[in-house]
Structure 1
């Protein structure tokens, strides 16, 4: 009889014990959530700060804000309409797109070639691996000033070297015909190592079994690269291209440090023109509108690159 009573008491107590354990578990989970929230709180605050600045910039683009104007009026999309009626704005859009797309395409191509050289294991590649990082560690403004000196038409070292083989002289950044090509060349020199490192990491992840299987099936080195290695590293190339497109669309240091948007408006990208409009012409509302347009171009370019990356990933997998 005593044994049966104790069993009944134990059965009745079991749900209460389970409920208390569940309550303790929920309490523990709440503590973990609070700790996690405290850990990520600084990142959330920084993100909210950036978002607040961004939306304030969007608001500024809808006003006639100008230095010295006592009353700021809300003008809606008047700044955007005025911009689209000017040829300078469309020239800036063209320069921005041509600069970003050309620089990223050339960097991806050269980066793939350098990464393939590194993966080959030749002696030259071992010497070049430490040196390839040099452009990446230099500040962009320092790079711009260095290349401005080297591209000087009268005293620059580039024209001197070309003159030794009977080529040139070139105007480089001094002529509207060559200035955009020159700043693209500077960007390519600076950021090609970024592509090379990312693609080299992708090539290192390809096992030798795949290459050996291709050799057994009679595939030559070029066929192995095109049909096996290139499809497998394509996602890495697109990831690098995504980051570089975002940065190239917003490029300011290299262009402003070398040409300041000139000669004329041949290198007047949206970021440079927005700076000139806002901080030199002091029309902050119009400058903010140009930066919002630049942001839209960056967003479209990034979305297209991500879509392409997803398609390549599905095909590789």
Structure 2
């Protein structure tokens, strides 16, 4: 019996390398279709865009290779420089305000009070509407003579404003629309973070006599910071590529006062039919989005609970 027991594992050991070899290549028939789809849907369009950016290509005409001439043209394009400034200002405001208001709203809705569920549902309704519908409603509200916003200002003695019809106020007005629509998203993300915070630190702070501000500063804010960074990443990328609301309300006006990179890219490619130069703008804009995403992901890695707790 001992000799039989020793002989039994031998066939299994002999067949194991063959099985492992079979398994190592068995996944390719399943992975290959996904790779083909990703390559055709994502990789090929960007490769073709890069190819177009190296050519002078007008719609209806032929294309000619110009190398980096389209990219060099960006350095002297003052309208492109202005669009970069508008994009950065709009993105910074459209991220900062929803983060602040969303954090405050999450703290409020985290408390127990009557009608909290109904008010939560009412608060998140703006982000469920389509951007074009929101833009049309706010465009009517921004009207200098017929808009309800100037009527509300008149009730408190404030003179009427031009809102999106003046270069100095058009971007803050558009940020107001973005803030109204996307503050609920930040609130939901932070609210999930608040629900995950343990109660022991708050009980210890209450015993030590900490004030409400001290509790928020040294407990709530550090522990919820990873969730705030997640909301910041989502909002930054979304605000950076915002197009529909801006185009539906101002079309980049008055003049070019609210023209972001997206709107300028659209004008170059589909209004002036300069596909080559528009592709160069798209490539540069794509690199900007990748750079911002990498920066935010790096910042997110520095807001882990353990590191924040040590820094606090």
Fold equivalence (TM over 0.5): yes
Tell me the residue number matched to 1:252. Answer: 243
Aligned counterpart for 2:254 among listed residues 257, 263, 266: 263
**CA offsets per residue over residues 117-156 of structure 1, 9 Å max, x none?**
0112233643320012211111111111111111111211
**What's the CA shift for 1:237?**
0.6
Tell me the residue number matched to 1:56. Answer: 48
What is the alpha-carbon distance in structure 1 between the residues aligned to residue 303 and residue 68 of structure 2?
Answer: 39
1:17 has 2:12 as partner: yes
**CA offsets per residue over residues 210-234 of structure 1, 9 Å max, x none?**
1001111221111111101100111
Aligned pairs for 1:1-317 within 5 A = 7-8=2-3, 11-12=6-7, 14-20=9-15, 23-24=18-19, 27=22, 33=27, 38=30, 43-48=34-39, 49-70=41-62, 72-123=63-114, 125-313=116-304, 315-316=307-308
> Does structure 2 conserve the Cα–Cα contact (< 8 Å) formed by 1:172 and 1:178?
yes
**CA offsets per residue over residues 223-249 of structure 1, 9 Å max, x none?**
111101100111111111111111111
In terms of Rg, which structure is larger? Answer: 1
**What's the CA shift for 1:25?**
6.1
> Does structure 2 conserve the Cα–Cα contact (< 8 Å) formed by 1:62 and 1:79?
yes
**CA offsets per residue over residues 235-274 of structure 1, 9 Å max, x none?**
1111111111111111101111111111011111000100
**What's the CA shift for 1:46?**
3.8
> Does structure 2 conserve the Cα–Cα contact (< 8 Å) formed by 1:147 and 1:186?
yes
**What's the CA shift for 1:42?**
5.9
> Does structure 2 conserve the Cα–Cα contact (< 8 Å) formed by 1:96 and 1:270?
yes
State the aligned residue count: 307
SS at match of 1:113: helix
**What's the CA shift for 1:12?**
4.3
> Does structure 2 conserve the Cα–Cα contact (< 8 Å) formed by 1:246 and 1:302?
yes
> Does structure 2 conserve the Cα–Cα contact (< 8 Å) formed by 1:117 and 1:125?
no
Q: Unaligned 5+ residue runs, structure 1? A: 1-5
Change (3 A) 1:210 1:154: same
Q: Unaligned 5+ residue runs, structure 2? A: none
**What's the CA shift for 1:74?**
1.4
**What's the CA shift for 1:30?**
5.7
Change (3 A) 1:316 1:44: farther
Change (3 A) 1:277 1:169: same
SS at match of 1:123: coil
**What's the CA shift for 1:63?**
1.1
What is the alpha-carbon distance in structure 1 between the residues aligned to residue 43 and residue 140 of structure 2?
Answer: 39
TM-score (norm 2): 0.92
